[in-house]
Amino acid sequence: MNMHQETVIESSKIKELDLSNTEIAFSDKSNKELNKAYWLFRLMKNNLLVKVANKLALISIKMKLPVKWIVRRTVFAHFCGGEDINDCQKTRSALFILVLVK
């Protein structure tokens, strides 16, 4: 299905997804994924930890230390749809299916 066809389907069948109902909003997430998100946000509430981790990450990248996998598996995995347009399209399609099913 190309993007134009998907848009046509979206405009005729898409429903409003009520994210205030957390049971529906997170129904596609496993307990492991929810726990990981919980701990990520819990750690991000600590301003000092975020500032120190940010500086350490930047220094580590400049020193060419292998830290990208940590970022990719934590913050990037939670907040980004992918590394390139193909990865993002996969994420978009998964979200589109979730909205249609609900």
Q: What is the pTM of this model?
A: 0.63
Contact (Cβ atoms closer than 8 angstroms) between residue 102 and residue 15: yes
Structure tokens, 2: 């190309």
Instruction: Find the helix or strand (DSSP H, E) in which 90 lies.
Output: helix 85-101
Model confidence pLDDT, tens digit, residues 46-96: 999 999 999 999 999 999 999 888 888 888 888 888 888 888 888 788 777
Within the chain, residue ranges assigned H as helices are 3-13, 22-25, 31-44, 47-62, 68-71, 77-79, 85-101
Give how far Cα 24 sits from Cα of 17, 68, 87, Å. 8, 32, 24
